[in-house]
Amino acid sequence: MQDFSGKTAVITGAGSGIGAALAALAASKGMNLVLADINVSDLETVAATLGDAPMLLQRADVADPAVVLALADAAWARFGSVDLLCNNAGVVPGGRHRPVWDYAEEDWRWAFGVNVDGVVNGIRSFVPRMIADGRPGHILNTASVAGFVSGSGSAVYGASKHAVVRITEALYAGLRDEGAPIGVTLLAPGLVATQIYDAERSRPAHLRAASGRVDEAPELQSIADNLYRNALSSEEVARMAFEGISENRLYVFTTDRFDDAIASRMQAILDRENPQFESLLSLSQDDAGMQDKVA
């Protein structure tokens, strides 16, 4: 997909971060916009920056299949077609470097509801109609490098992003099997300067753990803060995403910082050996590789 002008883009999680940057770039390319987010005020703030781009704003909890189906209905009713679907909404439960057994049931349900069900609901609600329309199009699913590496940290988020990777690869293969003129891109950011680690503000009340919100350990938060000072901007990530869409690339990584960890894990699998996972505690603000390459 290379001609964006006059085409319609649907973007979930459009109220901040990568989603807002995708919306801005899509608007600059002359696209019609269908922007969805669970926070209406955030959507309205983003919309106010997009000039006179034709757009539809809709509150959407992507974990709810009926809500995403209604989003698809609204998109077709407003613009008559959808050419680019960006399943981008994502959340990270607080205290992401807890041991896996410390996460509450609500953490799992919330993260998988948004990160995994949100992608599945988008695929189920939009892709059959896009195929039926017979128009060239594209699907962008936002995963993470966390979907390719492993270890003790951020277990819930990482597990959900591993699922997104597998779902997206299946989507890519399935559309090829069907001969559909729809491309697929898996966006795998590393560290990005977004509000995703403040996602707790958007957690539904019924999915809040009885034990209350869990914050990051101070020493880990200090490390993370140092790393994020060198993170890529959402705008740069959006630019990379659109390059991948234009070039019909399946995998779009925003950094090569984690290539060694990905290769090490895969080699351990192939060699049937126990892996050696990198710990966040081994990273520091003086890590030149991280300073130069983090995203």
Report the catalytic residues: 157
Q: How far apart are CA 136 and CA 78, in angstroms?
A: 19
- Greatest CA span in the chain, whole angstroms? 57
- Which helix (H) or strand (E) segment holds residue 185: the answer is strand 182-188
Edge-to-edge strand list for the sheet holding 84-87: 55-59, 32-37, 8-12, 84-87, 137-142, 182-188, 251-253
Q: How far apart are CA 256 and CA 226, in angstroms?
A: 19
Residues with Cβ within 8 Å of 270's Cβ and at least 6 positions away in sequence, in order, are none
139 by DSSP, 3-state: which?
A: strand
11 by DSSP, 3-state: which?
A: strand
